[in-house]
C-alpha cells in the first residue's frame, strides 16, 4: 500500500510538472496582428454590380487587429466604373480605409461596428468640363456599419453618410446584407448571401437586390481560392454604362488570394 501511494504521488507530481511546463510553453496572446494580402478576381463586383466592366482586377490590402477588438485596414483595386458610368475623365482605382471594433457577446454571438470610406483618388466625377458635369457628385463615399453574427449567420447594415458613389442627393443610402458561412470541412466553405441596396432620390429606379453563392477553398499557407455565382435584379435603365454595358447581369467570379 505504501509503495502504491508513493507511485501515485509521483505520478501526480509528474502530471503537475507537465502541466506547468505546458503552461510555460504556451505562447501568450500577441497584443496585435498585422497581415497583408494580394489577390486577383476575374470580375470585380461590389454588391453584385460590375466595377471593372467584366474585366479582371488586381487587389491588395493590409489589416491590423488589436487584442482589445479594435481593427484598422485598407484595400486597393483597379476600377473602370468611375469613368465609364459616371463619365469622369479621372478615377481608375479604389482605395478603401476602414476601422472599427468587434467583440464576442458569448460563445455563439458577436458584433462588429465601424466606418469605411471608399476613395477614388483624383476622380473628377461630376466636375465641370467632364461629360458628367452636373449629373454626378464626387465618387468617393463614406459609410458606417454594424453587424451581428450568430453561429454561422451574419446580418450586416451599412448606411452612407455622404453621397453614394457619385449619385446626387443620395446621402443615407442603405445596404442590408444577410449571409451564412457553412463549413464543409477540409478547408472548404460555402457562403450564401442576399442583399438589398436602397438609393434614395433618384430619377430612375436605382434600388435593387442581389444574391450570391460563394465556394471557398483554403489550401493552407495563406492561399485561398473562390468561385462565386451571383445575380441582381438591378434595372437596366439605371445600371447601363456609357458603352452600353449592363453592369448588373449574372455571372460567375473566380478569385485567388494570398495572405501573409
Here the CATH number for the domain that contains residue 185 is 2.40.160.40
In this prediction, residues 4-29 reach a mean pLDDT of 46
Does 226 map to a domain? Answer: yes
Give the SS3 label for residue 16. helix
Residue 2 reports pLDDT greater than 50: no
Nine cell digits for residue 44: 470585380
Does 179 map to a domain? Answer: yes
Per cent of the chain over pLDDT 90 is 89
What are the helix and strand counts (H, E) for the chain? 2, 15
Nine cell digits for residue 184: 464543409
Nine cell digits for residue 174: 442603405
Looking at 17-21, 42-46, 103-107, 185-189, which range is the least confident one? 17-21
Does 171 map to a domain? Answer: yes
CB 216 within 8 A of CB 185: no
Does 1 map to a domain? Answer: no
Q: Which domain holds residue 240?
A: 31-259
What pTM was estimated for this model as a whole?
0.89
Give the SS3 label for residue 230. strand
Confidence of residue 29 (pLDDT cuts 50, 70, 90): confident
Q: How many domains does the chain have?
A: 1
pLDDT tens digits for 86-119? 999 999 999 999 999 999 999 999 999 999 999 9
Q: CA 67, CA 227: separation in Å to the nearest integer?
A: 32
Does 242 map to a domain? Answer: yes
pLDDT tens digits for 152-180? 999 999 999 999 999 999 999 999 999 99
Does 14 map to a domain? Answer: no
CB 178 within 8 A of CB 191: no
Residue 25 has what pLDDT? 52
In this prediction, residues 177-205 reach a mean pLDDT of 98
Q: CA 91, CA 87: separation in Å to the nearest integer?
A: 10
Does 8 map to a domain? Answer: no
Amino acid at each position: 500500500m505504501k509503495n502504491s501511494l508513493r507511485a501515485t504521488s509521483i505520478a501526480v507530481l509528474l502530471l503537475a510538472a507537465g502541466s506547468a511546463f505546458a503552461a510555460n510553453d504556451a505562447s501568450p496572446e500577441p497584443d496585435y496582428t498585422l497581415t497583408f494580402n494580394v489577390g486577383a478576381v476575374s470580375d470585380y463586383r461590389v454588391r453584385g454590380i460590375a466595377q471593372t466592366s467584366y474585366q479582371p482586377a488586381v487587389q491588395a490590402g493590409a489589416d491590423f487587429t488589436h487584442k482589445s477588438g479594435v481593427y484598422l485596414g485598407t484595400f486597393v483595386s483597379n476600377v473602370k466604373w468611375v469613368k465609364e458610368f459616371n463619365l469622369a475623365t479621372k478615377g481608375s482605382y479604389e482605395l478603401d480605409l476602414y476601422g472599427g471594433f468587434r467583440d464576442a457577446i458569448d460563445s455563439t454571438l458577436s458584433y462588429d461596428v465601424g466606418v469605411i470610406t471608399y476613395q477614388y483618388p483624383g476622380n473628377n466625377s461630376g466636375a465641370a468640363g467632364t461629360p458628367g458635369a452636373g449629373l454626378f457628385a464626387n465618387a468617393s463615399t463614406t459609410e458606417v456599419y454594424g453587424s451581428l453574427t450568430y453561429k454561422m449567420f451574419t446580418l450586416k447594415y451599412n448606411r452612407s453618410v455622404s453621397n453614394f458613389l457619385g449619385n446626387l442627393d443620395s446621402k443615407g443610402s442603405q445596404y442590408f446584407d444577410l449571409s451564412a458561412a457553412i463549413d464543409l470541412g477540409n478547408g472548404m466553405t460555402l457562403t450564401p448571401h442576399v442583399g438589398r441596396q436602397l438609393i434614395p432620390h433618384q430619377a430612375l429606379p436605382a434600388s435593387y437586390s442581389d444574391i450570391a453563392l460563394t465556394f471557398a477553398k483554403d489550401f493552407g499557407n495563406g492561399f485561398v481560392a473562390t468561385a462565386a455565382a451571383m445575380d441582381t435584379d438591378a434595372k437596366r435603365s439605371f445600371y447601363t454604362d456609357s458603352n452600353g454595358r449592363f453592369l448588373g447581369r449574372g455571372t460567375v467570379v473566380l478569385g485567388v488570394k494570398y495572405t501573409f
